Structure 1
Amino acid sequence: MAGLDYFEVECTEDGSDNYIKVATTVLQDHNLLGIVEGLHIYIDPQYPLFVAAGFIRPPRSVIKISDVGNVLLQDGQATIAVGDETYLAAMLKILWQKLGHDNVDQPDRFTVIIKNTQIPKDIRDWVVVDPAESLFKDLIYAIQVIAPEGFKVRRENYGKNRFSYAASENTLPAADVEKIIADRFARMEEALK
Structure 2
Amino acid sequence: MEALETFVVESPILSEAQTYKSIVSDVISELVLGGAIGRIKVIVTPEDSLFQMAIVLRASQPLVKMSDIADVDSGSSLKKEVAISINEEKYLPELLEKLWARYGRGNIRQPERKTLIIKTDAATEEAISLKEMVIADPKRTLQSRLVEMAIRATPEGFRVRYHSMAEHSFVFVASEDTLKPEWISEAHKILDELQEEK
Q: Is this a same-fold pair by TM over 0.5?
A: yes
Q: Aligned ranges for residues 20-35 of structure 1 at < 5 Å?
A: 20-35=21-36
Task: Report the CA distance between 1:179 and its aligned residue.
Answer: 3.5
SS of 2:48's equivalent in the other structure is coil
**What is the rounded CA distance, in whole Å, between the counterparts of 1:26 and 1:152 in structure 2?**
18
Structure 1: runs of 5 or more not aligned: none
Candidates 129, 134, 143, aligned match of 1:127: 134
Aligned length: 191
**1:45 is matched by which residue type in structure 2?**
P
Task: Work out whether 1:165 is the aligned partner of 2:167.
Answer: no
Q: 160, 163, 180: which one pairs with 1:156?
A: 163
Partners of 2:144 and 2:176 lie apart in 1 by 22
Retained in 2: the 8 A contact 1:103–1:117? no
Q: Distance in 2 between matches of 1:188 and 1:89?
A: 37
**1:67-78 superposed matches below 5 A:** 67-76=68-77, 77-78=81-82
Percent identity between matched residues is 28
Cα deviation 1:84-113 (Å, max 9, x = unaligned): 111112111111111121111110102111
Partner of 1:189: 195
What are the ranges of 5 or more consecutive residues in structure 2 without an aligned counterpart?
none
The runs of at least 4 aligned residues of structure 1 exceeding 3 Å deviation read none
Give the aligned partner of residue 5 of structure 1.
5
Deviation at 1:37, TM superposition (A): 1.1
Are residues 41 and 132 of structure 1, via their aligned partners in 2, closer, same or farther at CA, if it must alter by over 3 Å?
A: same
Q: Which amino acid aligns with 2:136?
A: V
Q: Distance in 2 between matches of 1:160 and 1:90?
A: 24
Distance 2:85 2:178 in 1: 55
Code of the residue aligned with 2:58 in structure 1: it is R
The whole-number CA distance in structure 2 between the counterparts of 1:4 and 1:117 is 51
**1:45 CA displacement:** 0.6
TM-score, L = length of structure 2:
0.90
Contact 2:11 2:45 (C-alpha < 8 Å) held by counterparts: yes
| Structure 1 vs Structure 2 CA RMSD | 1.5
Query: Are the structure 2 counterparts of residues 104 and 143 from structure 1 closer, same or farther at C-alpha, using a change threshold of 3 Å?
Result: same
1:179–1:89 Cα change, 3 Å: closer
Q: In structure 2, what is the Cα distance between the partners aligned to 1:160 and 1:64? A: 20
Aligned partner of 1:12: which letter? P
Q: Name the CA shift for 1:90/1:2 in 2 (closer, same or farther; >3 Å).
A: closer
Moved more, 63-72 or 136-145: 63-72
Compute the TM-score of the two structures, normalised by the length of structure 1. 0.92
1:46 is paired with a residue of what secondary structure?
helix
C-alpha contact 1:7 1:39 (8 A) present in aligned 2: yes
